[in-house]
Amino acid sequence: MDEERTAALRALEERLRHRFADLALLDRALTHTSHAHERAAPSSRHNEPLEFLGDAVIGFLVAELLHRRDPEGSEGGKSKARAHLVAAPSLARRASALGLPDLLLLGRGEEKTGGRQKSALWADAYEALVAALYLDGGLEAAARFVSHEFAPDLASPQLPEPGDYKSTLQEVLQARGEPVPDYVTVAEEGPRHRRSFRVQCLVGGRLVAEGQGYSKKEAQQEAARRALPLLRLPEP
């Protein structure tokens, strides 16, 4: 790890409010498989193994926060809130706020094909980051970070509900006499336990927007969300 990379990770530590005993662990959390494979590094040096652990740690800690927020609340309501809070768009937004996209180590091919702009990779890095915090500082360090990150959402009386962008897009297009959108899955990426889908939104055969998500439904919603402002349509 060179001096420039070390300095960038030390700056990230300030934003995370955690000083890593093993800085290489933080570096690994931000290393994509394409970079590791390009350098013929062992598989353990990219962040895929950390994503699985981070996903479980975030899910558990958010569930605990929701329980503490509303101990007598319904299981269904809290499950729905957790699903929204830990969904890829939510994690990608938090990753962007921390500056993770700029710190990702990508292979040349992934970089050339726009990998740094893929929100699914941001969400993956966020999960790996939480796993790195857990492994380096234990559950207390991970819980402190997750609590700080999700506090603004948990403090609101009503947790936000994800918009049904697909229905909004279809309804408004139909009202304008335009064809309904088609959604085409153009790529499936990532490990088997955490597949990422890339979907194109087509209107009248014309590509309007693309979206990514950990299910085809989620990717379609993201594609529709991105299409709305491009078609100058109101979001739900």
Is 127 among the residues known to form the active site?
yes
Q: Which of 27, 127, 218, 222 is catalytic?
A: 127
Residue 160, token pair as written in the block: 């936000």
Q: For residues 174 and 69, give the distance between their C-alpha atoms in angstroms, rounded to a whole number.
A: 42
Token pair 């992934």 in the structure block, residue: 110
Phi and psi angles of residue 191, each rounded to the nearest 5 degrees, phi first: -70, 160
Sign of CA dihedral 186, 51, 116, 112: negative
CA atoms within a 13 Å half-sphere pointing along the CA-CB vector of 126: 25
Give the DSSP letter of residue 105.
Answer: B
Catalytic residue among 27, 48, 51, 55: 55
Q: Which sequence positions are flagged as catalytic?
A: 55, 127
